Amino acid sequence: MTGVWTTGTWESTKGLEFGAMPIPKFYDQEATWGDSHTIVLPLTKDEDSAKRKAAMIFADWIADNGQVWAKAGHIPSKPSVLEKQEFKDLPYRSDYSEVASVVKFSKHSTKNAQIRDEAAFKFLNEVWMNKMTPADAMNNMETAIQKILSE
């Protein structure tokens, strides 16, 4: 089990049989973790309106051509890209692209990356390698997260 960003890698791995699907519903609310890649256009003291306009046009072009980004497995940021034939022709993407409507982003925190790396990924990897039960991983993850939050 991994994220959509590996779909392109799995497709290019000879002999690998795999499938793609949304994360199943747990508890009462349909939700999945997600994040995004962002183009940042910083403000400068000596703003050049022509350069800013060109950068905005370029950023819009990138979003309009999300089917290229989707080759890696990512879900395009613009819903209109989901309707493009080039996106529809990519295998597996239609199996999970609807999760974009139920993504729950993490609350902003300076500790998000630390929680992800030192708690979530650390213990999920132990489960995936059959070195820890899911119950033990969740208990360890909770303890690790509480420790990080208290620091």
pLDDT digits (tens, 9 = 90+) for 31-86: 988 888 888 888 889 999 999 999 999 999 999 999 999 999 999 999 999 999 99
Q: How many CA atoms lie within 13 A of 40 on its CB side?
A: 5
The predicted model gives 5-21 an average pLDDT of: 91
Structure tokens at 57: 């046009």
pLDDT digits (tens, 9 = 90+) for 87-132: 999 999 988 898 889 988 888 899 999 999 999 999 999 999 999 9
Q: Are residues 96 and 138 in the same domain?
A: no
CA distance 31 to 18: 23
Instruction: Tell me: do 74 and 54 sit in the same domain.
Output: yes
Please tell me the predicted confidence (pLDDT) of residue 5: 86
Same domain, yes or no: 11 and 82: yes
b/e 27-55 (16+ beta carbons within 10 angstroms → b) = eeeeebeeeeeeeeeeeeeeeeeeeeeee
Whether residues 99 and 150 share a domain: the answer is no
Same domain, yes or no, for 46 and 82? yes
Does residue 93 share a domain with residue 25? Answer: yes
State the pLDDT at residue 48. Answer: 94
Model confidence at 23, in pLDDT bands (50, 70, 90)?
confident
Rounded to whole angstroms, the Cα distance separating 101 from 30 reads: 10
Q: Are residues 74 and 135 in the same domain?
A: no
pLDDT of residue 1: 67
Domains of the chain: total: 2
Query: Of 70, 86, 105, at which residue does a domain stop?
Result: 105
Domain range enclosing 51: 1-105
Residue 23 Rama label (left phi>0; alpha psi -120 to 50; beta): beta
- Judge if 91 and 40 occupy the same domain: yes
Q: How far apart are CA 35 and CA 116, in angstroms?
A: 12
